[in-house]
Amino acid sequence: MYDVNSKNAQDFIHHGEILETLQYAEENKDNLELISKLIEKARKQKGLTHREASVLLACTDEEKNQEIFKLAKEIKENFYGNRIVMFAPLYLSNYCINGCTYCPYHMKNKTIPRKQLSQEEIAKEVIALQDLGHKRLALEAGEDPVHNTMDYYLESIKTIYGIKHKNGAIRRVNINIAATTVDNYRLLKEAEVGTYILFQETYNKENYELLHPTGPKGNYDYHTEAMDRAMEGGIDDVGLGVLFGLEQYRYEFAGLLMHAEHLEAAFGVGPHTISVPRLKDADDIDASEFKNGIDDDTFAKIVACIRISVPYTGMIISTRESQSVRERVLKLGVSQLSGGSKTTVGGYNEETESEGDSSQFELSDTRTLDEVVQWLIQMDYIPSFCTACYGLGRTGDRFMSLLKSGQIQNCCHPNALMTLQEYLMDYASPTTKALGEKLISKEIANVPSENVRKTVAENLRLIREMNRRDFRF
């Protein structure tokens, strides 16, 4: 039976409940009275249930869909303003014993070069990432108990936090590794990992098992219950995601929101982030062989519906998507963006690069970080390298209560300006620097509190003139 509080995957992601939800959504997709009521409910910015949100996702009325997009934009602006948090993935190892049919790192792929970075190589990669201007990383690795051990991860995190090169520093390390035990999550927490990210890939158990024919990842329950164990291990920021294209998107959307509802019900804190990757071609993967691909319009509708359903959850988009798709969904709800990414093991530094192409998927946005930063500034977004919450212990429910009270806005905006100023001083091209300085002087007037405005102005001066770094609210 469906039970949002249960610790069993098949109760909180209940197949029957999803099917009923999809049927309810289909029956009501033209019910304009209900759709109007749901849009009004979403306007209160307290979110929607998976059933309610599924009706809006299924809605076919053009006028109502435009209202949904408009509301998504408003909620995005209310919660996240014009700030976009920047990050980069760092691939540690592509050794993997799983058989995921959609990923080129699957064990049977003999054509892809395999590589695991040593600690010396990680240090070189991190210096290269710091020289680009990154402050926030997402570590990526396949599942392999021989190569990719917990000790290896813990040592890698220590290496990364320990590198101080010029004015650079990685201030937040998030990690995307295979589902593991409560004890291991506790060790990751002690190593000061930020968000634990694990994509569900698909919430449909039957399909999940077909897509994962071999390896430990094939255990649907163990994988789906990973976030519960992570939270029990003390990691209170967790990142959800599905790989759109594996299953029908409406099924995944309902499952994703049910997962978020479960975490909120069971632990009092929902997911910190939701990622929205779409299946892409890769070494021995032909995305067109998967029958559930979604077009850009549907993708934009999904992003908008997630935004209005879970306003408190950050949304992440990677360089899998093109510049134009990224531009479109930034307006509708995405709050975090990767830039200048490499999805190869050792890809940021010539000395560490593997021989041959070891990338996990083809990039659509291949611009440098500076180009992405400049592009954002030209669209009036503030690229933010802020990691303040983590440094100040504002994670999990502490973070969520600050966010829900609206107080977080008094931190994010000034922090975005100060970290952008750091970036401009240390890494930006002359054109980006000039555009960024202009944006900062305009945006400083939008800091509501006079006291905070004065402090920010003084900190900006210290960054520019005294080479000081790492101010935060």
Positions touching ligand SF4 (CB under 6 A) are: 85, 96, 98, 100, 103, 105-106, 142-143, 217, 384, 386-389, 408, 411-412, 415
For residue 284, count other CB atoms closer than 10 A to its CB. 13
Q: Of 59 and 282, which CB lies nearer to ligand SF4 in the complex structure?
A: 282
Q: Are 456 and 416 in contact (CB under 8 A)?
A: no
Residues in the chain: 473
Minimum CB distance to ligand SF4 smaller for 58 or for 103: 103
CB of 193 to ligand SF4, least distance (A): 15
CB nearer ligand SF4, residue 13 or residue 197 = 197
Listed residue (293, 264, 294, 259) closest to 274, CA to CA: 259
Shortest reach from residue 105's CB to ligand SF4, in Å: 4
User: Which of 53, 334 has the CB closer to ligand SF4?
Assistant: 334
Identity of the residue, 69 or 95, whose beta carbon is nearer to ligand SF4 in the bound complex: 95
Q: Is 453 helix (H, G, I), strand (E, B) or coil?
A: helix
Q: What is the C-alpha to C-alpha distance for residues 88 and 349, in angstroms, rounded to an integer? A: 14
What's the token pair of residue 364?
Answer: 């659509």
Q: Which 3-state string (H, E, C) describes 298-315?
A: HHHHHHHHHHHHCCCCEE
Quote the distance between the C-alpha of residue 227 and its chain's center.
Answer: 15
Residue number with CB closer to ligand SF4 (85 or 231): 85
Q: Which alpha helices (DSSP H) does 334-408 contain, by range?
A: 369-378, 388-391, 396-404
Residue 369 CB, nearest distance to ligand SF4 (Å)? 18
To ligand SF4, the closest distance from the beta carbon of 21 in angstroms equals 27
Which residue's CB is nearer to ligand SF4, number 219 or number 323? 219
Assigned token pair, 290: 């998967």
Rounded Cα–Cα distance for residues 190 and 158 (Å): 11
Q: How far is the CB of 225 from ligand SF4 (least distance, A)?
A: 17
DSSP H or E stretch at residue 197: strand 196-197
Q: How far is the CB of 256 from ligand SF4 (least distance, A)?
A: 18
Which CB atom, from 59 or from 334, has the smaller least distance to ligand SF4? 334
Please give the angle made by the CA atoms of 113, 214 and 227, to the nearest 5 degrees: 95
Q: Which is nearer to ligand SF4, 71 or 411 (CB)?
A: 411
Closest distance to ligand SF4 from the beta carbon of 465 (Å): 24
Question: CB-wise, 22 or 188, nearer to ligand SF4?
Answer: 188
HSE (side-chain half, CA atoms, 13 Å) at 46:
4
Q: Tell me how far, at minimum, the Cβ of 273 lies from ligand SF4, in Å.
A: 10
Taking the least distance from each CB to ligand SF4, the nearer of 85 and 187 is 85
Smallest separation (angstroms) from ligand SF4 to the CB of 143:
5
Tell me the C-alpha distance between 457 and 364, whole Å.
Answer: 38
Report the residue number, 143 or 236, with the smaller CB distance to ligand SF4: 143
Taking residue 354's Cβ as centre, other Cβ atoms within 10 Å add up to 19
State in angstroms the smallest separation of the CB of 390 from ligand SF4: 6
Bridge partners of residue 175, in order along the sequence? 139, 196
**Minimal distance, residue 413 CB to ligand SF4, in Å:** 8
C-alpha 180/C-alpha 263 separation (Å) is: 17
Q: How far apart are CA 92 and CA 106, in angstroms?
A: 16
> If you write DSSP's letter for every residue of 412-452 in order, what string do you get?
HHHHHHHHHHHHHHHT--HHHHHHHHHHHHHHGGG---HHH
CB neighbour list of residue 233: distance below 8 Å, 6 or more residues apart: 181, 182, 183, 184, 185, 186, 188, 189
Q: How far is the CB of 104 from ligand SF4 (least distance, A)?
A: 7
